[in-house]
Amino acid sequence: MILDDLKKFFFKEDKKVYTSNETHKIDLSFRKVIEHFHIEFDYGSDLIIREINIFDTKSCIISMDGMINKEIMNEIVKSIINSEYQENNKHYVYEKIRDKISSFPDQIEVFTYEDALTMLLAGCALLYVDGYNSILVFGVQGFEVRSISEPTSEKSQRGSREGFIEVLRLNMAMIRRRISNPNLKFETMQLGSTTKTFVAICYMNDRVERKILDEVKRRLEKCDIKSVSTSGCISPYLEEEGDLSLFSSVGLSERPDSVCGKLVEGRIAILVDGSPTVLIVPYLFVEYFHNIDDYAMKPYFASLNRIFKFISFFIAILLPGCYVGFSTFNPELIPSELLNKISLATGSTPFSLMMETLLIHFLYEIMRESGLRLPQNLGHAVSIVGGLVVGDAAVNAGLIGAPTIMVVALTSISSFVIPNLYEPIALLRLLFIIAGGTLGIWGIMVLLSVVLVNLCSKSNFGIPFTSPLAPFGLFGMRDSILRTSWKSLSKNKNNIQQMPGSKY
């Protein structure tokens, strides 16, 4: 339940009373309290106020429709109504309910309307007794949640089948269940001036670098945003100021086991209520090529898979540009038989090779986007129709050459090997096509140099983004492109502060 997090964030450790300013204290009049809540919600239909009589004392239960567990709340109300009261005194009735009758674990007391509204909107139920200037709050959240299932974006063959969901408290519990260590800490804050979304900062107290943790808190506190509907809303605020790189140094994951592995290495995870995606900082470039299955198989096969991923990355961004550049400006670099086939194919099409390649990529991106947004069954049908019918028809009609289709198909398949890098790959692919079609191999080399320099100069929280490749560190290479055995890794597991070039 969320009330535990609310206590930690809003309440002092030695008190059960909210400590904010008391500019809007609770009224002593029963009708004024009810009217205040009605006015706050503009007499909305989802505000439920249930009036009850407790030993001839007017009282009411205030809650939001669909956000509380009605069965638990009914049991609390029954115990309150059916109890015996010896004095017909409002203060006696309230204090007996607070101290003896409703001995509910998640129960606190608030004294201002602001505090009561915060708890009400978090899914709590409020109990007000006429003539008393405070309200009892019960943590009886019971809204519907999506069942825990394997994330579709991070499939695993041998790993866990659990993935994060949209409820912050359950996501925190999944991490806590995997790391049974009191050094695992959660700190909760609210972001979004309008939505007031709860965000949890998770870290290992004995492994995290304090300077990095303080910087993360500072950046989140400076996050001036009205609405936080997903973790992507706060991701740019965790990047370095003025960072113009296409690659993000903030990692994303929907898998609890992956997040726990990063926490053990001294990373910091940021969980956002309402989003199944967890942010991880600092994050390294080589980690985009890692998968949870890499640690469940033999090191030689895991290393081979990672090498294939790096090769696929360069194929995805360079192959179309090299195809266009070599065919247009440096045909002598292409074998004669292959060059003849390319010449025959492009000679029968009305477009230049660069325009032809850009056109087929444009059509591919349209089909990909439609396949993602349509219902699953229909999306597969669109992909099949686009891949077979449209592609074959374009070749037969003489609009696009068959070699271009093959290059684009190989490029697209390679880009799916690293799904978390698809956005920068798609943009870089188009830039390399334009560079190769206008300047040839020199344009490709200049653009590639710019990309590499940009990657090597990028850092976040004092950690170089391309570490341990640049600057090179032999210790970090044990789990980067290659992966050594668990016997070696378990003796002295990589820690983010040990990366070469780190300021810590």
Name the nearest CA neighbour of 433 among 421, 418, 422, 444. 444
Name the nearest CA neighbour of 213 among 282, 298, 272. 282
Higher pLDDT, 424 or 7: 424
Q: Contact at 8 Å (CB) between 254 and 194?
A: no
Place 488 in a pLDDT band, splitting at 50, 70 and 90. confident
The confidence score (pLDDT) of residue 450 equals 94
The pLDDT of 309-318, averaged and rounded, is 94
Could you report the per-residue pLDDT of 427-483, keeping only the tens digit for each?
A: 999 999 999 999 999 999 999 999 999 999 898 888 899 988 888 887 778 888 888
> Residue 84, SS3?
coil
Higher pLDDT, 268 or 19: 268
Q: Contact at 8 Å (CB) between 299 and 488?
A: no
The position carrying tokens 């700190």 is 187
% pLDDT > 70, the chain? 88
Could you report the per-residue pLDDT of 380-402, keeping only the tens digit for each?
A: 556 655 665 666 767 777 777 88
Q: Which residues are 201's β-sheet partners?
A: 187, 270
Measured in residues, the chain has a length of 504
Q: Rounded to the nearest 10 degrees, what angle do helices 441-457 and 422-439 cross at?
A: 150
Higher pLDDT, 269 or 78: 269
Residue 10 has pLDDT above 50, yes or no: no
The position carrying tokens 């898998």 is 255
The confidence score (pLDDT) of residue 9 equals 45
> Residue 64, SS3?
strand
Could you report the per-residue pLDDT of 226-282, keeping only the tens digit for each?
A: 889 888 899 999 998 878 888 999 999 999 999 999 999 889 999 999 899 999 999
The confidence score (pLDDT) of residue 174 equals 93
The mean of the pLDDT values for the chain is: 83
Q: Contact at 8 Å (CB) between 197 and 269?
A: no
Could you report the per-residue pLDDT of 328-352, keeping only the tens digit for each?
A: 888 888 888 888 888 887 777 788 8
Residue 209 has pLDDT above 70, yes or no: yes
The pLDDT of 288-311, averaged and rounded, is 90
Place 159 in a pLDDT band, splitting at 50, 70 and 90. confident
For residue 115, give Cα distances in angstroms to 11, 109, 217, 471: 11, 9, 24, 51
Query: Residue-wise over 132-170: b if at least 16 C-beta within 10 A, else e?
Result: bebbbbbbbbbeeeeebeebeebebeebeebbbbebbbe
Place 152 in a pLDDT band, splitting at 50, 70 and 90. confident
The pLDDT of 341-370, averaged and rounded, is 83
Place 11 in a pLDDT band, splitting at 50, 70 and 90. very low
The confidence score (pLDDT) of residue 62 equals 93
